[in-house]
Amino acid sequence: MAKEMEGDNKKRRALAAAAREQGRTAVEAGASLGGSKQREHARRKERAGPQPAGARKPGPQAPRPDLPPGPETPRPPHSPPYGDTVADPGVLRLRYRELVSEVGDRTGVGFDQAKGAARATVSVLARALPEPDRQRLLDALPTELSQGQDVSEPYYGRGLSGFVQQVAGLAQRPPEQALLQTQAVLGAIAAQDGQLLDSLELPDFLTDLTHPPAPGGGLVGPNRHTAPLDEDELIAALRRLPGWTGNASALTRTLTLPPDQLDRVLARLDQLKIDSGRGPRISRPDDWTAQLVVQTTNARAVTALDVDLAALINDAIDEAAAGLA
C-alpha cells in the first residue's frame, strides 16, 4: 500500500478548503504540517522582495522612534611632529634640525659635528643647573640632544675653563673649538627662544657667552669669548692674507680655475674642515668659479679665528693647485 502523502486525505483537504474560505492558510488552520506543500505557497514562492513583516517587526516604511543622541566620542588630539612638543602643556620644544643647523652655520661645521657639539654642551649645561631649571631646559630642548645621556648627576663647575674642558671631552674637540661651539649652541638656543636662557639660573661664567662679544681682537681661549676685530686689526689682517677681501662682517676670496683643478682645491678644503673643525662657506656659481666666505657666525663679524682660518685656507689652496687667477 502506497504511503499517503501529507494533505492527501479528505479530512485535511476539507479543513484546508474551509480555511481558504475564511481567508486563512492551511498552516494557520492546523490542516497541514508543512506550509511549503500548500498550493498558495507555490503561488508565492516566486514573490519578489523581502519576506512580509511579522506582527512585531516594523516594515521599512514604519516610523522610527526618536532616540536621544549617544555620547560624542572625543577625537584624539593631533600628534605633533616628533621632537617639537613636550607633555607639559604650553611648552614648545625647540626644533631639532633647525637648532643643530644653526649651530653648524655659526661654527662652519657639518651637521654631525654640530650635533655632537650641541649634545655635549647640553649635557654639561643641564648638569650645571639646579634641578628645576635643569628640567625646564630639557623640556624645552629636542630630546635628541639629551637622549642616552645621564644628566642627573650635578656638575659643580670650576669656572668657564672647567665647563669648556667638560664640553671638549664629550665632543672630542680642542678647548678652543669647544668654547666656540658652546657659544654657538647657546646662541642658537637664544635665537629660537629668547626667553629660555634668561629664565634659567645660569652660572655667572656662562652669562657672557649668551650675548654678543664686545669689539676688540684677540684669540679664543678657554677663559674668554671670541671678539670681533676692530677696523685697524681688520686692515692689518687683510694685508697678511693675499687674495682675500672683506669688511667687519666677513672675509671673502674668489677662486677661478679649470673645473678639474677647482674640484681638487675644494676637496682639500673639505678635508681642512674635517681636520680643524672649521671651514669656509663655499658657493659655486659656475664650473670655473668658487667663492669662499669666512665669518664667525656667532659674533656676526670677523674675528681672529677667521684670520687664522683664512691663512690655513691659503696654505691648503697652495698645496692643492698652483697658478690661481
CATH number at residue 304: 3.30.1360.20
Residue 325 in this model has a pLDDT that exceeds 90: no
How many Å apart are CA 182 and CA 114, to the nearest integer?
A: 10
Q: Looking at the structure, do residues 204 and 103 belong to the same domain, yes or no?
A: yes
Q: Looking at the structure, do residues 237 and 202 belong to the same domain, yes or no?
A: no
Q: Looking at the structure, do residues 238 and 315 belong to the same domain, yes or no?
A: yes
Residue 252 — pLDDT band, cuts 50, 70, 90? Answer: very high
Residue 265 is assigned to a structural domain of this protein: yes
Residue 200 is assigned to a structural domain of this protein: yes
User: Hunting for cell 666656540 — which residue is that?
Assistant: 180
Q: Looking at the structure, do residues 203 and 287 belong to the same domain, yes or no?
A: no
Q: Looking at the structure, do residues 105 and 187 belong to the same domain, yes or no?
A: yes
Residue 273 in this model has a pLDDT that exceeds 80: no
Residue 235 is assigned to a structural domain of this protein: yes
Residue 51 is assigned to a structural domain of this protein: no
Residue 241 is assigned to a structural domain of this protein: yes
- Residues linked to residue 294 through DSSP beta bridges, in sequence order: 251
Domain count, the chain: 2
Q: Looking at the structure, do residues 204 and 259 belong to the same domain, yes or no?
A: no
Residue 151 in this model has a pLDDT that exceeds 60: yes
How many Å apart are CA 26 and CA 231, to the nearest integer?
A: 118
Mean pLDDT across 97-125:
85
List the domain range (segments joined by +) for residue 206: 96-210
User: Which of these three, 147, 175, 210, is where a domain ends?
Assistant: 210
Q: Looking at the structure, do residues 256 and 153 belong to the same domain, yes or no?
A: no
Q: Looking at the structure, do residues 190 and 144 belong to the same domain, yes or no?
A: yes
Residue 248 in this model has a pLDDT that exceeds 60: yes
Residue 100, Cβ neighbours under 10 Å: how many? 24
Q: What is the pLDDT of residue 27?
A: 65
Residue 261 is assigned to a structural domain of this protein: yes
281, HSE (Cβ side, Cα atoms, 13 Å): 13
Q: What is the pLDDT of residues 207-233, one digit of tens each?
A: 766 665 444 444 444 434 467 888 888
For 19-53, what is the HEC assignment?
Answer: HHHCCCCCCCCCCCCCHHHCHHHHHHCCCCCCCCC
State phi, psi for 282 to the nearest 5 degrees: -120, 130
280, HSE (Cβ side, Cα atoms, 13 Å): 30
Q: Looking at the structure, do residues 261 and 314 belong to the same domain, yes or no?
A: yes
Q: Looking at the structure, do residues 112 and 188 belong to the same domain, yes or no?
A: yes
Angle at 162 between CA 159 and CA 167, to 5 degrees: 125
User: Which of these three, 159, 180, 210, is where a domain ends?
Assistant: 210
Closest CA relative to residue 189, chosen from 105, 103, 252: 103
Q: Looking at the structure, do residues 252 and 193 belong to the same domain, yes or no?
A: no
Residue 39 in this model has a pLDDT that exceeds 60: no
Mean pLDDT across 58-84:
53
| C-alpha cell read off for 71 | 555620547
Residue 42 is assigned to a structural domain of this protein: no
State phi, psi for 265 to the nearest 5 degrees: -65, -45
Mean pLDDT across 258-284:
84
Q: What is the pLDDT of residues 119-141, one digit of tens each?
A: 988 888 888 888 888 888 888 88
Closest CA relative to residue 101, chosen from 178, 36, 210, 192: 192
Residue 217 is assigned to a structural domain of this protein: no
Strands in 289-294's sheet, in edge-to-edge order, are 245-246, 251-256, 289-294, 281-286
Q: What is the pLDDT of residue 291?
A: 93
CATH number at residue 187: 1.10.490.110
User: Which of these three, 145, 175, 210, is where a domain ends?
Assistant: 210
| C-alpha cell read off for 13 | 483537504
Q: Looking at the structure, do residues 281 and 193 belong to the same domain, yes or no?
A: no
